[in-house]
Amino acid sequence: MSAARAAANDALGAMASRGTAGYVFHVLERSFDGFFGAAANPLRQLGALAFLCFWLAAASGAYVYAFFDIGVTGAYDSLESLARAQPYAGGAMRSLHRYASDAFIALTLLHVVREWAYGRFSGFRWFSWLSGVPLVWLAVASGMVGYWLVWDELAQYVAATLMEFIAALPGVDAAMIRNAVAGENVTDRLFALLMFAHIAVSLLLLLGMWVHLQRLARPRSCPQWRLGLGTAAALAVLALAVPAMSQGRADLARASQELSFDWFYLFALPLSQLASPAAAWAVLAAGTLALSALPWLGGRKRLPAARVDPTQCNGCGRCFEDCPYQAITMAAPAEASALTGAAAPAARNIAVVCAEACSACGICAGACPSSTPFRSIGMLRSGIELPQFPVAELRARLEQQLATLHGTATVIVFGCTRGPRTNTLAGPGVASLVLPCLGMLPPSFVEYALKRGAHGALLAGCGQGDCEFRLGDQWTRARLAGLREPHLRSGVPRERVYAIWLHRDQERSLVKELDAFRGRLLGATRNPAARTHRRPGTNHG
C-alpha cells in the first residue's frame, strides 16, 4: 500500500469514528499541536481558557468599580476620567475588562461547538451539557447590563432596544417597561440597581460554572501555565494597543446614527429590530430549546453502567479516586445495601455506582485490586466491573489471543476503541485485545500476558489530550510508572513493555512503532546482555 493511500485510509478511519464536524476539529487540533504542542494547545483547553478570561474580567472589573461613580452623569464622567488620568492603569484595566469579557463569550461558544462536534452531549454527559446552556445567556445578560452602565451613546441604544425587547414578552406591562428609560426615570437609583444586577448576574454565572463541573473529577479550570500566561499577556497587549473608549455621552433627546458595536454580547438587539422583538424571542427560545433537548435527540446508545460485587469489594476506594466522572461514592454498609438492594459486609465501606453518571469506560475496573487474572477462584470476579465486559471475559479473551501467538518476538497489543485501530495488526507473532479505554487494563494483565507466552506487551493509548474519558491515558501512565495503584510490579522486565500514545489518524505510526518494538525484542532475545531498560509509559510515538 502506498504512503498516500495509507494516509487516506487513516483519515477516513478518523472521520468515520468522529463524524465530519469532529474530524474537522481533530485536524485543527492536530495542526495546533504542531505549533503550540499538545500540552499547550488552546483548542484542547477552551473551557479552562474561558475560566481564565472570567477571572481576568472580574479582577479588572473590580479595579474599574473602585473608581466608578454610580450615577447618571457620574458614570460617563468617571470612566472618561479613568481613561485619561490613568491611561496605562485605569484605562488599560477598563480595556482588559472589555476584551477579557469578549474572549470569555467567544471561548464559551467555541467550547460548545467543539463538544457538539465530538458528540459529547448525550448519555452520561447530559448534565454537563444541559447545565452549560444557561451559562451563555447569563454571560450575555451580564454583558448587556455592563454596556448600559457606561451611559454613552451605545448604552443609550442598548437601554432603549433592550426595553423594547423585554416589552414584547407576554404578561409584561409594555408601557411601564418603556417608561423605565424615559428621561425623568433615568436616575442615580436606576444606575445603582443596574450595578447590583451586573454583579449579581456575574455571581450567578460563576455559580453556574461551578455546577457545570460537578459531574467531573479533577476538572481543568486552569489552562496550562504557558498558555494561560500567553493568553493574559495577549489580552493585556491588546488593551494597551487598542483602548476601549466610550462613544459620546448619552442624550435621550436624540438618537445616535453610528455606533461601534460589540456583536459578542449585543447580537440579539439588532435581531429584534431586523424583524420584531417577538420574532427574535421565538428564534432565541427555539435555539435554546434545541440545545437543551440535544442530549435526548439521537445521541449514542447508552451502555450498562459498572456494577459492584459487595462480596469482592474491599472498600479501598481506588475506583472512587480514579473515576473521571464522579459516578462512584463510598457508602457505609447499611447505605450501600439500601442503594443497591444487595447485602454488604458490615465491616467496611462499599463502592456504589450512580448509573446515571457512569460512562462505562471501565477505568474503575482497571483500578480495582481484585481485577487480577492470577486469582485461582472458580469464577473470576472483581469488586467492580463492566457487565458487558467483566474481568473473567477479559482474561478469557486475553488467553484466546495469546494462544494465536507463534514464532519469535511475539507481541500482545492492548488497544483502545477511541485510539488508533489495533485489531488490524493481528498476524503472525502479533495479537490484539481492544478495550473501551486503556485505563480499564489492570497492570497485572500485562504481567499475565508476559508469563503466558508473549515476548512483549505494547499498550497503544490515545494521544495527549485526546482521551475520550479524560483520565484514562493519565492513570495508565501513572500505573505503569509505579506512581499509582495498582501499579506494574517491579519484577516485570521493563524492556518487554512498551506504551505509546497516538491519535486516531496515526495508524501508520503505530505499525512503525510495533515493528521497532519487535526488533528490539528480537535483538534482546539474541543478545540478552544488550537489553535496554526502557521505562514503560513514557513513549509518545
- pLDDT tens figures, 132-172: 999 999 999 999 999 999 999 999 999 988 998 898 888 88
Shared domain for 86 and 4, answered yes or no, is: no
Please check whether residue 116 lies inside any domain of the structure.
yes
| CA distance to 397, 407, 500, per residue, from 529 (Å) | 34, 22, 25
Look at residue 530 and tell me whether its pLDDT is greater than 60: no
Look at residue 533 and tell me whether its pLDDT is greater than 90: no
Q: Is the CB of residue 423 less than 8 Å from the CB of residue 432?
A: yes
Q: Which three cell numbers stand for residue 36?
A: 503550540
Give the pLDDT band (50/70/90) at residue 516: very high
> What is the crossing angle of helices 126-150 and 153-167, to 10°?
130
Q: DSSP letter at 435?
A: E
Look at residue 7 and tell me whether its pLDDT is greater than 80: no
For the domain that residue 198 is a member of, what is the CATH number? Answer: 1.20.810.10
- What is the pLDDT at residue 371? 92
- What is the pLDDT at residue 308? 93
Q: Is the CB of residue 219 less than 8 Å from the CB of residue 213?
A: yes
CB-count burial class (<10 Å; 0-12, 13-18, 19+) for 497? buried
- What is the pLDDT at residue 9? 47
Shared domain for 370 and 231, answered yes or no, is: no
CB-count burial class (<10 Å; 0-12, 13-18, 19+) for 119? middle
Shared domain for 68 and 104, answered yes or no, is: yes
Give the pLDDT band (50/70/90) at residue 532: very low
- pLDDT tens figures, 208-238: 999 999 999 999 999 999 999 999 999 999 9
Evaluate the omega torsion of the peptide bond into residue 420 and state whether it is cis, within 30 degrees of 0.
no
Look at residue 6 and tell me whether its pLDDT is greater than 70: no
- pLDDT tens figures, 27-71: 999 999 989 998 999 999 999 999 999 999 999 999 999 999 998
Q: Which of 174-178, 381-385, 505-509, 523-527 has the lowest mean pLDDT?
A: 523-527
- What is the pLDDT at residue 477? 95
Shared domain for 97 and 212, answered yes or no, is: yes
**The dihedral formed by the CA atoms of 204, 209, 212 and 217, expressed in degrees to the nearest 10:** -140
SS (H, E, C) 289-332: HHHHHHHHCCCCCCCCCCEECCCCCCCCCHHHHHCCCCCEEEEC
Shared domain for 140 and 286, answered yes or no, is: yes
CA distance 333 to 326: 20
| CA distance to 50, 61, 70, 336, per residue, from 220 (Å) | 11, 24, 37, 30
Residues of the chain above pLDDT 90, percent = 65
Using DSSP, how many helices (H) and how many strands (E) does the chain show?
19, 8
- What is the pLDDT at residue 8? 41
Containing structural domain, residue 104: 45-255+262-296
- What is the pLDDT at residue 261? 84
- What is the pLDDT at residue 4? 45
- What is the pLDDT at residue 229? 97
CA distance 447 to 438: 15
Is the CA virtual torsion 388, 393, 395, 399 positive or negative?
negative
Look at residue 14 and tell me whether its pLDDT is greater than 60: no
- What is the pLDDT at residue 344? 59
Please check whether residue 430 lies inside any domain of the structure.
yes
Average pLDDT, integer, range 335-351: 67
Give the pLDDT band (50/70/90) at residue 15: very low
Bigger pLDDT: 402 or 7? 402
Query: Which residue, 88, 87, 205, is CA-closest to 146?
Result: 205
Shared domain for 276 and 213, answered yes or no, is: yes
- Residues 6 or more apart in contact with residue 262 via CB below 8 angstroms: 98, 102, 143, 147, 154
Shared domain for 285 and 340, answered yes or no, is: no
State how far Cα 221 lies from the chain centre: 9
Shared domain for 235 and 285, answered yes or no, is: yes
CA distance 340 to 305: 13
Give the pLDDT band (50/70/90) at residue 185: confident
Please check whether residue 126 lies inside any domain of the structure.
yes
The residues pairing with 415 across neighbouring beta strands, listed in sequence order, are: 434
- What is the pLDDT at residue 513? 95
Q: Which of 127-141, 259-273, 395-409 has the lowest mean pLDDT?
A: 259-273
Give the pLDDT band (50/70/90) at residue 203: very high
Please check whether residue 538 lies inside any domain of the structure.
no
Look at residue 276 and tell me whether its pLDDT is greater than 60: yes
- Strand residues in 333-455 grouped as ranges (E): 350-353, 384-385, 411-416, 430-435
Shared domain for 391 and 415, answered yes or no, is: yes
Phi and psi for 45 in degrees, rounded to 5?
Answer: -135, 40
Please check whether residue 281 lies inside any domain of the structure.
yes
Shared domain for 2 and 50, answered yes or no, is: no
pTM, 2 dp: 0.89
Q: Which of 117-131, 252-266, 470-484, 506-520 has the lowest mean pLDDT?
A: 252-266
- What is the pLDDT at residue 183? 75
Bigger pLDDT: 310 or 539? 310
Shared domain for 100 and 61, answered yes or no, is: yes
| CA distance to 6, 62, 310, per residue, from 11 (Å) | 9, 48, 45
Look at residue 179 and tell me whether its pLDDT is greater than 90: no
Please check whether residue 244 lies inside any domain of the structure.
yes
Look at residue 400 and tell me whether its pLDDT is greater than 50: yes
Q: How many domains does the chain have?
A: 3
Shared domain for 514 and 497, answered yes or no, is: yes
Please check whether residue 301 lies inside any domain of the structure.
no
